């Protein structure tokens, strides 16, 4: 409870004092982006998607087997000792064993490429279904590897979130129906976590860095998502303005401005613009080719203005999202700088060694900020995964992804993805310190811990256009705070 | 010290304007914090004199009481499916709330706060603000007063800022006015008005030239001039540029124009930069130049409205006028080359399409009149353009345009650039326009 009288003595509710306020200096940002998800330039789309699954299984299987062996080795159930089995096809009926493979969810509501092909539908439209999950129990879980697949049954699946594409080890026996009766399930769990400042240290060995880890206390990193600059909806224009003034440190009083000066970087996690709704008008005049009048540049212009106002004061990392002008399949490649005629002077030239002041990056994106390993996405991976499960617990799904060591398990099945051949970048080779996902329905955060002392801060960043919230992360402790703007 | 009182009284009480601290800070060039105090002082003195004379909105920042944001954190989500060893509960996270409230609700809002870390007057206006979104327009106006480069006054500075160093890099034009969001949808013409501030200056000379009063009668020459203006600055990237601009400027104004009027703010800043570095070809400029002439074209259409709707202060107008003069100087440079080639071009009037052929490729930069004559070999020219850029043949129009400009200015600039008065420029341009190749093309279309 604050009353008017209490705030009367605030410094700004006085006559102009004439004191010269010295300019605040913003904390520097220590930043090393990784290019894990950058696609090369001469990529082909001719190949099949199967390689992704193969690569993923090959990469994660050893870790899963290690976990499975540690917990199931020597397990005796009903007088029978459990044995490891190499391939799904080698499972013998009645034998207690464990086997590792890729989970495949067979769901009637899930789009199925085979069905499309058999019905001669060659152009697949984005699905409009909210949930693939169906209440009636028509869904079934399979485990497969390169040898074959087996249907999994058992009550244990009520306890776990499972989606197509995650790698799991299952313990149990094959019953007389040819189904695998599962007693227990194990996942790879959190990947090894790099030390803080690992990348900065590596760089230091190469070059003498000028911006070595500084003892700058109280630094913060701002994460915002879903700014959704729109050509038609202006209902939150004022909030966006206040956000800008807040981040610039023009609003509020000198004390608060001093704190705001510690925000060293802004991360924009997707959906910065919304395509304007198509006003479909049949025009009498026939136009050939691309009708440029159907394109409304206003959203990206407004966003450009926003960026170019903010950039002189603060470096920005920009991830694309589902509604941004980037490719739609995962991993989304950076939004082209040409979209930002004003802000683009802050971007780096292509192939530059140094990241740009405005760093337009991929989605998902990985990098080191203030020494911590960040992994972030624009939200599509979680949104797609949420369709597989009954609940809407985004943090739980984020945790599951970390424990599966896969940041986009449902790619390429239901999450469109590039058909990788040689590498599967969605596998988390290293566990991030902070995992954020943009454009979520609401804010949430939690720390999860791994068996080897790993700790991951999960943040689901709400969409600014819906909640008017941004997230501030403390650069030392990774503690999170929120700022809500209400008008 | 009391100048702000006067300014605010004039604007708020007389002109019914709303002033935010940002707008005040940028108008008076004072620190935003001082501006906030000024607004407070103004609000206080005015209301002491006559209660309810001015109405303020406040920006409050602080922690709200816990029960106010019940929905903070998603702690209550049922987690039947989460992994068993880790309950899926979001941590309770402190929320700092930034509220913008009208003064009559200030007390209630403050009551919701546990602690207020910061409060100040955000805006004053003659009436209570009903819809906060209306302040967004004022905020946009404030942005437009911001400095061209670097941080705005009072914002936190960052010494580490890096910019791309690139020749011909487009610098944001000073006084670039981002489009007010609310105006975006309904009226394209009015929308282009505030946005085109800078670009307008480019086209303004043509208005003055063609006369203030009877602009309709001279619509045709104006548009030709404008189209010429549009073409000339694109020197370096001209060869890469799609050919459409001429036709667009001359004949097919309305339809396409409207489409691009939305993009008005983008081109307007490319333009000056292109004009100032005519001789630096840079790799990825082509896309912008495509836009830039579109921007120019826009100006033909919404111009009258743009000027009428201008709600600029005297200061701004003066500033603009001054800039316009500079701009005209530049225009002159651009006009000069028009005149030079024109005598030669005249015989070609019947077939404007062939004209582009007359120019030399980029290699022979120093070529003079003789060089041009040599360039008339059409076939040769076509081939080379295709080799270099892989663009369509029609591009040659542009290639010729800008190239002549590249060539001539060095000679004429020294003489005329700085000294010539505006009127002279206007005359020159007027003379040049009908004779120039642009006029020829217009006539070509007219015949059709």
> Model confidence over A444-475: pLDDT tens digits?
999 999 998 999 999 999 999 999 999 999 99
B226: region left, alpha or beta (phi > 0 left; psi from -120 to 50 alpha): alpha
Helix/strand/coil for A192: coil
Residue A180: Cβ-neighbour burial (10 angstroms; 0-12, 13-18, 19+) = buried
CB contact under 8 A, B262 and A296: yes
- B343's CB contacts (< 8 A; 6+ apart) are B435
**Residue A182 and residue A152: Cα distance in Å, rounded?**
7
Q: Strand A434-440 to strand A444-449: parallel, antiparallel, or no bridges (unpaired)?
A: unpaired
Architecture in CATH for domain A50-186: Beta Barrel (2.40)
Q: What is the pLDDT of residues A141-187, one digit of tens each?
A: 999 988 899 999 988 887 888 899 999 999 999 999 889 999 999 99
- CB distance B40 to B106 below 8 Å: no
| Fold match, A21-42+193-276+295-484 / A50-186 | no
For residue A366, pLDDT beyond 50: yes
Residues of B in contact with A339 (CB under 8 A): none
CA-wise closest residue to B407 among B360, B344, B357: B360
- What is the per-residue DSSP string for A277-339? PP-----SS---S--GGG---HHHHHHHHHHHHHTTT--EEEE--TTSSS-SSBSBPPPPGGG
Complex confidence, ipTM? 0.83
Helix/strand/coil for B62: strand
Architecture in CATH for domain A21-42+193-276+295-484: 4-Layer Sandwich (3.60)
The shares of helix, strand and coil residues in chain A, as percent rounded to the nearest 5, are 25, 25, 50
pLDDT for B388: 61
pLDDT for B236: 41
Neighbour count for residue A55 (Cβ, 10 Å): 18
Neighbour count for residue B367 (Cβ, 10 Å): 18
Question: To which residue do tokens 């601290």 refer?
Answer: B21
pLDDT for A367: 93
Residues of A in contact with B84 (CB under 8 A): 159
pLDDT band at A407 (very low <50, low <70, confident <90, very high): very high
Helix/strand/coil for B271: helix
Where do the structural domains in chain B lie, given as residue ranges? Answer: 3-68+94-144, 181-326+349-447
pLDDT for B202: 43
Interchain contact B256–A (C-beta under 8 A): yes
Q: What is the pLDDT of residues B90-147, one digit of tens each?
A: 777 888 999 999 888 888 888 888 888 889 999 888 888 877 777 888 877 777 776 5
CB contact under 8 A, B270 and A341: yes
CB contact under 8 A, A255 and B118: yes
pLDDT band at A399 (very low <50, low <70, confident <90, very high): very high
- A146's CB contacts (< 8 A; 6+ apart) are A54, A57, A87
pLDDT for A40: 81
Where do the structural domains in chain A lie, given as residue ranges? Answer: 21-42+193-276+295-484, 50-186
B62: region left, alpha or beta (phi > 0 left; psi from -120 to 50 alpha): left
Interchain contact A486–B (C-beta under 8 A): yes
Q: Strand A180-186 to strand A149-153: parallel, antiparallel, or no bridges (unpaired)?
A: parallel
Q: Which residue has the higher pLDDT, B371 or B49?
A: B49
Cis preceding-peptide flag for A364 (omega within 30 of 0): yes
H or E element that contains B123: strand B113-125
Across A247-260, average pLDDT: 87
CB contact under 8 A, A158 and B80: yes
Across B351-368, average pLDDT: 44
CA-nearest residue of chain A to B63?
A483
Across A79-104, average pLDDT: 91
Q: What is the pLDDT of residues A194-225, one digit of tens each?
A: 988 888 777 666 554 444 445 567 899 999 99
Residue numbers of B between 152 and 191 with CB closer than 8 Å to A: 152, 154-164, 166, 169-172, 176, 178-179, 181-182, 184-185
- CB distance A310 to A244 below 8 Å: yes
For residue B41, pLDDT beyond 70: yes
- CB distance A269 to A461 below 8 Å: yes
pLDDT for A181: 92
Across B375-403, average pLDDT: 51
Cis preceding-peptide flag for A331 (omega within 30 of 0): yes
The shortest CB-CB distance from B259 to any of A2, A293, A301 is to: A293
**CA end-to-end distance (rounded Å), chain B:** 66
The shortest CB-CB distance from B255 to any of A158, A293, A469 is to: A293
- Check: CATH 3.90.1030.20 for B3-68+94-144? yes
Question: Which residues pair with residue B423 across a beta bridge?
Answer: none
**Residue A436 and residue A375: Cα distance in Å, rounded?**
6
CA-wise closest residue to B73 among A444, A463, A479: A444
Residue numbers of A between 376 and 435 with CB closer than 8 Å to B: 389-396, 399-400, 403
CB contact under 8 A, B266 and A248: no
CB contact under 8 A, B61 and A28: no
Q: What is the pLDDT of residues A328-350, one digit of tens each?
A: 888 999 999 888 998 988 988 87
The shortest CB-CB distance from B151 to any of A20, A234, A312 is to: A312
Q: What is the pLDDT of residues B311-338, one digit of tens each?
A: 556 667 777 777 777 665 555 444 444 4
Neighbour count for residue A35 (Cβ, 10 Å): 13
Cis preceding-peptide flag for A280 (omega within 30 of 0): no
Look at the alpha carbons of A415, A416, A420, A423 in this order and tell me if their dihedral is positive or negative: negative
Residue numbers of B between 288 and 327 with CB closer than 8 Å to A: 288, 291
**Residue B342 and residue B262: Cα distance in Å, rounded?**
35
Joined together, the tokens standing for residue A213 give 């880890």
**How far does CA B53 lie from the centroid of its chain?**
36
**CA end-to-end distance (rounded Å), chain A:** 20
CB contact under 8 A, A12 and B120: yes
CA-wise closest residue to A249 among A239, A240, A259: A259
- CB distance A358 to A318 below 8 Å: yes
**Residue B239 and residue B285: Cα distance in Å, rounded?**
11
Helix/strand/coil for B390: coil
pLDDT band at B422 (very low <50, low <70, confident <90, very high): very low
Joined together, the tokens standing for residue B265 give 């703010």
Q: What is the pLDDT of residues B263-316, one digit of tens each?
A: 444 444 444 444 444 444 444 444 444 444 443 444 444 444 444 444 556 667
DSSP state of A106: E
Q: What is the pLDDT of residues B14-30, one digit of tens each?
A: 888 888 888 888 888 88
């Amino acid at each position: 409870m604050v009353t008017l009288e209490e705030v009367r003595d605030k410094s700004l509710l006085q006559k102009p004092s004439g004191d010269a306020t010295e300019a605040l200096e913003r904390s520097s940002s220590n930043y090393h982006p990784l290019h894990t998800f950058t696609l090369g330039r001469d990529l082909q789309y001719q190949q099949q998607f199967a390689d992704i699954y193969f690569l993923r299984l090959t990469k994660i299987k050893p870790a899963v087997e290690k976990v499975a062996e540690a917990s199931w080795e020597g397990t005796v159930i009903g007088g029978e000792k459990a044995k490891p089995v190499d391939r799904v096809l080698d499972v013998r009926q009645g034998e207690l064993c464990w086997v590792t493979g890729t989970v495949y969810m067979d769901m009637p509501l899930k789009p199925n490429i085979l069905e499309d092909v058999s019905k001669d539908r060659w152009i697949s439209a984005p699905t409009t279904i909210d949930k693939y999950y169906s209440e009636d129990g028509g869904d079934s879980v399979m485990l497969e590897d390169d040898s074959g697949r087996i249907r999994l049954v058992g009550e244990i699946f009520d306890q776990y979130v499972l989606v197509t594409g995650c790698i799991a080890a299952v313990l149990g026996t094959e019953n007389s129906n040819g189904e695998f009766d599962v007693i227990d399930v194990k996942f790879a769990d959190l990947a090894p976590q790099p030390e803080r400042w690992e990348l900065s240290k590596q760089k230091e060995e190469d070059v003498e860095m000028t911006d070595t880890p500084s003892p700058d206390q109280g630094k913060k990193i701002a994460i915002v998502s879903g700014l959704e600059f729109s050509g038609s909806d202006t209902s939150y224009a004022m909030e966006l303005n206040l956000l800008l003034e807040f981040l610039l440190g023009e609003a509020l009083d000198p004390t608060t401005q001093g704190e705001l000066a510690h925000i060293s970087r802004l991360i924009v996690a997707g959906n910065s613009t919304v395509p304007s709704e198509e006003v479909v008008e049949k025009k009498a005049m026939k136009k050939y080719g691309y009708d440029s009048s159907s394109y409304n540049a206003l959203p990206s212009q407004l966003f450009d203005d926003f960026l170019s106002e903010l950039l002189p004061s603060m470096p920005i990392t920009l991830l694309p999202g589902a509604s941004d002008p980037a490719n739609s399949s995962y991993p989304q490649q950076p939004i082209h700088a040409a979209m930002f005629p004003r802000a683009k002077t802050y971007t780096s030239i292509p192939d530059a060694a140094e990241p740009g002041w405005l760093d337009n990056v991929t989605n998902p994106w990985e990098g080191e900020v203030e020494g911590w390993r960040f992994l972030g996405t624009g939200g599509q991976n979680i949104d797609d995964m949420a369709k597989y499960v009954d609940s809407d617990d985004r943090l739980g799904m984020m945790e599951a992804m970390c424990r599966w060591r896969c940041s986009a398990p449902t790619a390429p099945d239901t999450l469109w993805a590039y058909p990788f051949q040689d590498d599967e970048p969605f596998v988390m080779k290293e566990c991030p310190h902070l995992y954020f996902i943009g454009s979520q329905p609401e804010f949430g955060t939690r720390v999860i811990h791994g068996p080897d002392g790993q700790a991951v801060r999960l943040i689901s960043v709400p969409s600014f256009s819906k909640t008017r919230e941004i997230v501030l992360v403390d650069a030392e402790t990774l503690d999170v705070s929120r700022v809500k703007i209400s008008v | 010290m009391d100048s702000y009182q006067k300014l605010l009284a004039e604007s708020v009480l007389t002109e019914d304007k709303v002033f935010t601290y940002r707008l005040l800070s940028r108008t008076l060039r004072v620190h935003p914090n001082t501006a906030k105090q000024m607004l407070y002082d103004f609000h206080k003195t005015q209301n002491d004199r006559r209660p309810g004379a001015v109405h303020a909105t406040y920006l409050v920042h602080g922690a709200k009481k816990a029960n106010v944001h019940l929905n903070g954190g998603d702690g209550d989500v049922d987690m039947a499916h989460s992994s068993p060893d880790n309950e899926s509960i979001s941590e309770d996270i402190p929320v700092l709330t930034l509220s913008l409230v009208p003064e009559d609700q200030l007390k209630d809002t403050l009551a919701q706060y546990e602690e207020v870390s910061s409060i100040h007057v955000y805006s004053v206006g003659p009436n209570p603000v009903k819809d906060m979104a209306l302040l967004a327009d004022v905020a946009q106006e404030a942005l437009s007063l911001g400095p061209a480069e670097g941080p705005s006054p009072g914002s936190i500075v960052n010494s580490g800022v890096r910019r791309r160093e690139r020749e011909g890099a487009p610098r944001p034009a000073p006084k670039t006015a981002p489009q007010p969001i609310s105006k975006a949808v309904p009226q394209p013409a009015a929308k282009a008005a505030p946005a085109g501030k800078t670009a307008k200056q480019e086209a303004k000379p043509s208005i003055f030239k063609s006369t203030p009063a009877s602009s309709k009668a001279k619509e045709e020459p104006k548009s030709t001039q404008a189209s010429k203006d549009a073409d000339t600055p694109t020197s370096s990237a001209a060869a890469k540029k799609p050919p459409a601009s001429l036709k667009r400027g001359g004949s097919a104004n309305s339809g396409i124009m409207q489409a691009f009027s939305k993009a008005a703010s983008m081109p307007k800043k490319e333009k000056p930069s292109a004009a100032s570095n005519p001789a630096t070809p840079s790799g990825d400029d082509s896309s912008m130049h495509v836009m830039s002439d579109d921007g120019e074209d826009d100006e033909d259409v919404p111009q009258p409205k743009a000027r009428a709707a201008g709600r600029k202060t005297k200061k701004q107008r003066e500033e603009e006028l001054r800039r316009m003069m500079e701009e005209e100087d530049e225009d002159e440079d651009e006009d000069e080359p028009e005149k030079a080639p024109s005598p030669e071009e005249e015989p070609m009037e019947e077939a404007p399409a062939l004209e582009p052929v007359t120019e030399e490729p980029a290699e022979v930069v120093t070529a003079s009149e003789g060089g041009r004559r040599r360039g008339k070999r059409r076939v040769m020219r076509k081939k080379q353009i295709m080799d270099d850029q892989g663009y369509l043949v029609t591009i040659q129009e542009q290639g010729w345009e800008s190239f002549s400009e590249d060539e001539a200015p060095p000679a004429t600039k020294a003489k005329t650039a700085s000294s010539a008065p505006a009127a002279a420029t206007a005359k020159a341009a007027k003379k040049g326009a009908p004779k120039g190749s642009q006029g020829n093309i217009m006539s070509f279309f007219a015949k059709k």
